[in-house]
Amino acid sequence: MSDTKPALELDVAARAVVTENGIEILSAPEGVRFELLPRDYAATLIPDDDRFAAENLAYWEHGLLVHVAKGVELEKPLYVQVTSSGGTLFWRMVVIAEEGARFSLIEDLGSNHPDTEAYTNAVVELFVHPAAKIEYVSLQNLSRETWHFGRYKAWLERDSELDWVIGGFGSKRGKVWIENDLAGPGATSRVTGAYFADGDQHLDYDTFQEHIAPNTESDFAFKGALRESASAVWRGMIRVEEQAQKTNAYQENRNLLLSDKAHADSIPGLEIMANDVRCTHGATLGRINREELFYLMARGLSRAEAERLIVRGFFQDVLDRIELEPVREALGAALEARIPQAS
């Protein structure tokens, strides 16, 4: 299995390679349990009313447990490479950051061939204990013949922090649920999403910010660019419980359409039971600026080069939110690469 190459070349603290044939653990540092997930490990965050999550929890064969001990701080990221070779892959991961632990974790989900026909289904649970911090990067670059479903949920305790980066580029049809429960006072969650679809791709993101405790903060920002006949849907919900006073929550979704046939839907929502909160949301949908395009082409750039520059500018504020420089650069390059060299 180890001959498959990761999409990101990084200097890492630990690496796991996951395929339909199993999981290979290549390294693990002291203070970190980076091991096979016991088959009888019960899900505690994922509800049983989700048919795709229920299917995963019933049929998963390959799972990873990432457990970082109390007070452990890792300078290098933990890296999980998940590669689909065709057929069906049910993948599961449980991540536990004990009190005061601080680390980065990268999940890189892709296919070994661009024409691979496959079905992938992922469930990931993240437990962020008091004063712990996780920077979690989840990248999806599956083949154009793959149907992908994912359910991701995090539980944040007192003064914990989650910085979550999501990149969506592949799959034929994709549906991903992203949920954060801010359960302890002082918990902070920031989720940054970037996606690019073309051809007849369809990407669907459903985000949920659940504020349970007082003095919590969440910031969800998703941006997408769509070409040809691609489509995307984003649904966002901020829910503030009655006891969650002093909540500060924000959500936004911005889409850039690069063709007349591309389509995007943004559906933000608020459910607020508390009376001392600050909750805002925004959604925009726009086409490429013809004046900007003309300006750049008048200065010698081809249409493709001009579009690539505009796309980079559109995503720049999202990319600036990513702390890990190699991930930031790789994500920016992947976005630019979706614009053809010739128009």
In the chain, how many domains are there?
A: 2
Q: Could you tell me if 263 and 303 lie in one domain?
A: no
Positions of the chain with pLDDT under 70: 1-8, 340-343
Report yes or no on 220 lying in a domain: yes
Per-residue confidence (pLDDT) for residue 244, from 0 to 100:
98
The pTM of the full predicted model, rounded to 2 decimals, is 0.92
Q: How many CA atoms lie within 13 A of 179 on its CB side?
A: 18
Per-residue confidence (pLDDT) for residue 26, from 0 to 100:
87
Q: Could you tell me if 339 and 233 lie in one domain?
A: no
Q: Assess contact for 130 and 143: CB atoms under 8 A.
A: no
Is the CA virtual torsion 287, 291, 292, 298 positive or negative?
positive
Q: Assess contact for 146 and 132: CB atoms under 8 A.
A: no
Q: Could you tell me if 260 and 293 lie in one domain?
A: no
Q: Could you tell me if 201 and 301 lie in one domain?
A: no
Q: Could you tell me if 123 and 153 lie in one domain?
A: yes
Q: Assess contact for 130 and 159: CB atoms under 8 A.
A: yes
Q: Could you tell me if 180 and 169 lie in one domain?
A: yes
Domain with 193 in it: 14-288
Residue at which a domain ends, from 252, 268, 288: 288
Report yes or no on 3 lying in a domain: no
Per-residue confidence (pLDDT) for residue 8, from 0 to 100:
64
Residue at which a domain ends, from 288, 309, 332: 288
CB atoms within 10 A of CB 319: 18
Angle at 122 between CA 183 and CA 325, to 5 degrees: 75
Q: Could you tell me if 110 and 178 lie in one domain?
A: yes
Q: Could you tell me if 283 and 323 lie in one domain?
A: no
Q: Could you tell me if 196 and 58 lie in one domain?
A: yes
Per-residue confidence (pLDDT) for residue 4, from 0 to 100:
40
Q: Could you tell me if 21 and 77 lie in one domain?
A: yes
Report yes or no on 62 lying in a domain: yes
Report yes or no on 137 lying in a domain: yes
For residue 4, give the nearest of 118, 84, 114, 116 by alpha carbon: 84
Report yes or no on 299 lying in a domain: yes
For the chain, state the CA radius of gyration.
Answer: 20
Which amino acid is located at 85 in the chain? Answer: S
Report yes or no on 112 lying in a domain: yes
> For the segment 251-275, what is each residue's pLDDT rounded down to a tens digit?
999 999 998 999 999 999 999 999 9
> For the segment 285-308, what is each residue's pLDDT rounded down to a tens digit?
888 888 888 888 898 888 888 888
Per-residue confidence (pLDDT) for residue 3, from 0 to 100:
38
> For the segment 140-184, what is each residue's pLDDT rounded down to a tens digit?
999 999 999 999 999 999 999 999 999 999 999 989 999 999 999
What is d(CA 106, CA 336) in angstroms, rounded to the nearest whole number?
21
What is d(CA 217, CA 227) in angstroms, rounded to the nearest whole number?
34
Q: Could you tell me if 240 and 155 lie in one domain?
A: yes
What is d(CA 303, CA 284) in angstroms, rounded to the nearest whole number?
24
Report yes or no on 7 lying in a domain: no
Q: Assess contact for 234 and 208: CB atoms under 8 A.
A: no
Residue at which a domain ends, from 266, 288, 310: 288
Q: Could you tell me if 182 and 324 lie in one domain?
A: no
Report yes or no on 178 lying in a domain: yes
